[in-house]
Amino acid sequence: MLENTFIHIPRIGRVTEQKLWEKNIHTWRAYLKAPAPPLKGALHRAAREELLLSEEKLAGGDLEHFCRRLPAGERWRLFGPFHREAAYLDIETTGLGYPGDHITTIALYHRGKVRWYVHGRNLSDFARDIRECRLLITYNGQGFDLPFIQRDLGLTLTAPHIDLRYVLGSLGYRGGLKGCERQLGICRGDLEGVDGFMAVLLWRDYARRGNDRALETLLAYNIEDTVNLELLMYRAYNEKIGGTPFKEEFLGFQAEPVSLPFQADQDIIESLRRRLSPYTA
């Protein structure tokens, strides 16, 4: 889809891009080889120059170039040529960011490998590992995860970023990450019903009582959030493509077997549900 894109060119928006598509100018190469200028005057000259540069940057794998030029709401288009570079990221915290709140765990899923980081254990390793990741995928990372990481760890993540909250929202899927999963038929099995508030309670149980089963359940939940982002990203990308003339650009998705290193403890989850039931009834 990226090579069908023209809105990264200054002064070209969706309307002009759509008009180019309607003229069968579907790709950068089609524009550059058109017998007559598809646009007029200075705009055509600027477009031609930008598209020649785009070909060069894409051949060199320069993600940052396109991230800078694409509107934030259109960065999903990066996923097509760079989907194998994608790293999926999710954090858990002690709260929403009030003074004293901190990150408890981070899960990172990149190139089929799951990594996890725990406050008080190996959280500092995250800064080293995230440098390997060229394209970040989150759900609500723009508003929560990335600012929280910056404030708590002093780490500014500069890699190109696609926030699935806005991509899925533009397709009509809302209600948080779990709500979007349910609408798309994703089942969480043993972790069904576990949410961010329960994740806070799991951490408290671990931090106050040294309950390793609570920590393992929290990590299972955090990792499930992260791994599921991959399927959501593929589904969202293909739905977006379905609204363009380029359905042949659909990305096939075959879930790679993921060895999940932790299992949720059902006794702990049921205990938390009983504690919370007076507040949720």
Same domain, 28 and 87: no
Alpha helices in the chain (DSSP H): 14-22, 28-33, 41-59, 63-69, 79-82, 125-130, 146-153, 164-170, 176-183, 196-209, 212-242, 266-280
Same domain, 22 and 107: no
Q: Which domain holds residue 42?
A: 2-60
Beta-carbon count within 10 A of 218 CB = 27
User: 67 in a domain, yes or no?
Assistant: no
Last residue of a domain, one of 29, 45, 60: 60
Q: Single out the residue of 186, 256, 239 nearest to residue 76, CA to CA.
A: 239
Query: Mind listing the pLDDT tens digit of every residue in the chain (281 residues)?
Result: 999 999 999 999 999 999 999 999 999 999 999 999 999 999 999 999 999 999 999 999 999 999 999 998 899 999 999 999 999 999 999 998 888 999 999 999 999 999 999 999 999 999 999 999 999 999 999 999 999 999 999 999 999 999 999 999 999 999 999 999 999 998 888 898 889 999 999 999 999 999 999 999 999 999 999 999 999 999 999 999 999 999 888 998 876 778 889 999 999 999 888 888 765 44
What is the C-alpha to C-alpha distance for residues 34 and 172, in angstroms, rounded to an integer?
37
Same domain, 133 and 217: yes
Same domain, 106 and 191: yes
* Rama region for 247: left / alpha / beta (φ>0; ψ in -120 to 50; rest): alpha
Q: Single out the residue of 271, 116, 259 nearest to residue 204, CA to CA.
A: 271
This model's pTM is above 0.85: yes
